[in-house]
Structure 1
C-alpha cells in the first residue's frame, strides 16, 4: 500500500537544435538556420530497439547520435563521406550506419569532415575526409563507409577525438594509458614529435603521457587536450590568444581540480569539481566572457608562454554540471537543467532568437516551464550550431 502511494516519475526524452542548418545538420528536415530552439521528433523507425540517445557528437556540419543500445545514426553534411552511409551526400534525417550494425558502439566523435566510432571490444572505425591522414588508414584517401583502423591490432581503444584535420585516440590496457595522434600536425596538435610534423597517416604515440592516467581527450581546430585522473589539463597544438604553438603536451599549472574540458577553435572551457567554469584563450566574437585579462590562475609554462585561465563571469550562484564549445561559442548546463550560451551568434547558434554575439552567458528558453517538472539536460556544440538532449521528469501519483 505504501509503495502504491509513493510518487513515481514519468520520463520524456526531448531533443532540441538551433543555429546553422543549411546542410541539414539540425535534423529539422529543412535547409535553413534556426535562431530559436526547435524541438525535434527524432524517432528512429528503422531502429525500433535503438533506445534513447546516450551521446551526440557535433562536427563541422554533421551529427552522430549514439543510442543506449550501441547503435549509431548520422545526418547533416555528407559530401566527404563522413556520415558513413556508403555515399557522399547530405542527409536531412537521421540514418543508421549499417556497416556498424553488428557491433555495439560505445564512443563516437565528429570532426570538421570526418568521423570516428569505437566499439565495446576496443575497435576503432573511421570515415570521411582522409586527405590529411586523419582517418589513420596509412593513406590520404577519403572513405564513405566506416573502415576499421587496423594498426592498433589487439590494443583496446576507448575514445576518439576528431579535430579539424587530425584525430586523437585514447587506449587503455595493462601497460597503462596511451594517446595516439594522426592527421595534420603542422601546429603540433599530434604531440608526437618536438619538431614540426606535416602529415601522418598512421597512428603514432603522443609524447609525455608515460606515467599519466588519462580520463578524456579532446580535439577541435588545430588544438588538442587531455584531462588526467588527478584533475590536470594538458594542452598541445596551436597556441591560445597568440601564444606560440606547442609540439608536446604540457600540463597547465593550476590549483584547480578539473573534471571536464571543451575545445573551440580559439578557446577551451574547463569545469572544476565545484561546478565553476574557467576559460583559456578566446577573445574573438565575445567568447571571452569578460574584459578582465589577467586572473589568479595566470602562470608561465615551460617555454615561458603566458597563459591565463580566467573564471567565466555571469555564472555566480550556479553549479555547472556540463560544458560544451563550438567553433567560437560556448554553452553550459546548470544543476537545475538550465542551458546558457555565449560567444559568436551569426547563425543563431546561441538560441536567443537573433544573430548577435554575446559576451556573457544568456539563458536559452527550451519550451514552457511546468510546475513540479525537472529536467536533466546535456548540451553539444557543432561549429555553428547547438543541440540539447533533455530528460524531463514529471512526478505522478499512483
Structure 2
C-alpha cells in the first residue's frame, strides 16, 4: 500500500499523462486503427460497443468514479452512474484518463468526467472535484449549465486539459491553459468547452479533423488529408515546429527554419508527456519532441524538433532499418508502444515500462513478452486489438476480451490484485471486478481501454 499523498506524487512528476494516449481498436475485417479516425462520413459513426465503465489504480482525487477517495483499488471497480452510487455507468464506448481525472464518451455523443477539477478539466462549469461522473457543458455555458455536449465522437485527456472531437470535424477543449493547451485566444483556464481556433480572433475554427490526441500539455489533430496540427506547450519541441503558445500550426516534415514542408500521409497520432508520435499510412512510425529516456525510438536520447523515423526492433544507432507494419501507437509520459499487424506489440523508452521481461529501458523498439515471461522471453504478446499508455504503465485489450497490463504498479494501476511492482516487467492479466491476489478470475468481455497517469480504465459489455 503506497503512502504517497497527492502533493508528494505531483512533486515527483515533471509532466503527467495521459490516458488519452490514443487507444486503437480492431474493426471487423480490418487492421487496428486510431479511435475516431476515418473519412468525414465515418467520423459521424461513433465506433465501439456500448458497455459499463470500470476503473482501478490511484484514487486520491476520486478518478476511479466509485463515489470515494479511497487511496487506491488494486482490481477493477465499477464507475458510478451517478451519485448516490447505486448503478454502474452504462452506455460508454470510449474512456480516457488524465493525471487524476477521467473522461467517458457515451454512445449518444455526451461526455462524462470525474476526479480532480482544479483547473476546470471536468468541463462542468466549476472547479470542484467530483467522485462520480458529471456531464460536460455545451460551449458558452456557465454553471449551473442547462445545455451539454451531445455531438462528440472522440475524447482525449491530457495532464489537466481535455479535448473532444465533434461530429462536424471541429474540436473543443477545456481545463488548464497555461501553455495554450486549449488552442484558443483566451489565456486563462476554462471550466467549460471552448472551440479550438486557427486565427487569433477565432474567426476560423479548426476543422476537417478525424482524430485527436492530448499529451501532458499539448494536443495533436489529424486531418482528412493526412496532415497534422499541434498546439500547446512546446518547451521540448513536441509541436513539431517553432511556434508561440496558444497558436495552432501544421507539423513540419523538414527543417522549419529552412522551409516547412507539411508532414503528410499520416494514419494515426499519439501524444506523450512531452513527445509526439504518428503512424504513416504505409506503416512506418515517426516521432519528435523530448527524448531523454529514448521515447522517440531513434536510438538516441537527443531531443528532436521535427519528426524522425523510429528504428526497427533491436536496431542500434545509427539505424539502418526502421519500424514498419505498424497500425497504431500510444504514448506515455516517457515511453511509447506500437501495435503491429497480427496484434504483436513493440515498446521503447524509459526503465520498467516496456514489458520485455527485463525491467530495463531501450532507445529502440523491443518486443513485448507474453504474459508472465521473463527475459529471454519464451513467447511474445499477440492478438492485441487496442492499447493505451499511462504515465509509467500500459494497458492492452486482447481479441478474446481480456485485458493485460505492464509497468509501474505502485498504486495498483496494473489491476492484478496487488499494489506493488510484482509482475510489472512483463504483461499480467487484469483481475475480474472485486478480485484480490491471487485472482482466480480474469476480467473478460472488455471492448475498450484507457490509461491515466497512475490509474487505468476499461469498458466491458453487459
- TM bucket, shorter chain: 0.7 to 0.9
Per the alignment, residue 126 of structure 2 pairs with 87
Structure 2 CA distance for partners of 1:289 and 1:35, relative to 1, 3 Å? farther
* Counterpart-to-counterpart distance in 2, 1:235 and 1:118: 23
What TM-score does the superposition give when structure 2 sets the normalisation length? Answer: 0.72
* Counterpart-to-counterpart distance in 2, 1:252 and 1:109: 24
* Counterpart-to-counterpart distance in 1, 2:353 and 2:105: 32
Q: Which of 57, 65, 69 is 1:27 aligned to? A: 65
Which of these two proteins has the greater Rg computed from alpha carbons?
Answer: 1
* Counterpart-to-counterpart distance in 1, 2:70 and 2:219: 29
Per the alignment, residue 402 of structure 2 pairs with 338
What SS does structure 2 have at the residue aligned with 1:98?
Answer: coil
* Counterpart-to-counterpart distance in 1, 2:246 and 2:455: 30
In structure 2, stretches of 5+ residues that fail to align are 1-48, 84-88, 140-147, 199-203, 254-260, 295-300, 312-321, 372-378
Q: Which of 155, 159, 162 is 1:108 aligned to? A: 155
* Counterpart-to-counterpart distance in 1, 2:149 and 2:398: 37
Per the alignment, residue 144 of structure 1 pairs with 191
Q: CA deviation at 1:348?
A: 0.9
Pairwise mapping of residues 367-378 of structure 1 onto structure 2 (< 5 A)?
367=433, 375-378=445-448
What SS does structure 1 have at the residue aligned with 2:138?
Answer: helix
What SS does structure 2 have at the residue aligned with 1:324?
Answer: strand
* Counterpart-to-counterpart distance in 2, 1:12 and 1:180: 30
RMSD of aligned alpha carbons: 2.9
Q: CA deviation at 1:390?
A: 1.2
Alignment partner of 1:54 is 2:97: no
Per the alignment, residue 366 of structure 1 pairs with 432
* Counterpart-to-counterpart distance in 2, 1:308 and 1:232: 14
**Conservation of the 8 A alpha-carbon contact between 2:158 and 2:215:** yes
What SS does structure 2 have at the residue aligned with 1:150?
Answer: coil
* Counterpart-to-counterpart distance in 2, 1:220 and 1:12: 27
* Counterpart-to-counterpart distance in 2, 1:336 and 1:234: 30
- Bigger relative contact order, structure 1 or 2, given CA contacts below 8 A and separation 6+? 2
Per the alignment, residue 155 of structure 1 pairs with 207
What SS does structure 1 have at the residue aligned with 2:183?
Answer: coil
Pairwise mapping of residues 1-398 of structure 1 onto structure 2 (< 5 A)?
13-40=51-78, 42-43=80-81, 52-99=91-138, 101=148, 103-151=150-198, 152-153=204-205, 155-172=207-224, 176-193=225-242, 199-208=244-253, 210=262, 212-239=264-291, 241-242=293-294, 243-253=301-311, 254-283=322-351, 285-291=352-358, 307-315=363-371, 316=379, 318-357=382-421, 358-367=424-433, 375-391=445-461
* Counterpart-to-counterpart distance in 2, 1:147 and 1:314: 43
Q: CA deviation at 1:374?
A: 6.8
The one-character-per-residue Cα deviations of 1:71-127 (angstroms, maximum 9, x if unpaired) are: 111111111011111111111111111315364111111100101111111121111
**Conservation of the 8 A alpha-carbon contact between 2:274 and 2:333:** yes
Q: CA deviation at 1:246?
A: 0.7
* Counterpart-to-counterpart distance in 2, 1:212 and 1:90: 40
Structure 2 CA distance for partners of 1:130 and 1:102, relative to 1, 3 Å? closer
* Counterpart-to-counterpart distance in 2, 1:292 and 1:37: 22
